[in-house]
């Protein structure tokens, strides 16, 4: 349930480290 949201948020944050989400 919330796991999908957390994973999506982490992926977005990780992507922001290199470029933009």
What is the model's pLDDT at position 12? 83
What is the model's pLDDT at position 21? 53
Structure tokens belonging to residue 14 = 């990780």
Distance of alpha carbon 15 from alpha carbon 1, whole angstroms: 22
17 Cβ contact list (under 8 Å, min separation 6): none
Question: What sections of the chain are H helices per DSSP?
Answer: 2-18
- Regions of the chain short of the pLDDT cut 70: 1, 19-21
What is the model's pLDDT at position 16? 79
């Amino acid at each position: 349930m919330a796991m999908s949201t957390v994973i999506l948020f982490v992926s977005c944050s990780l992507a922001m480290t290199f470029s933009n989400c």
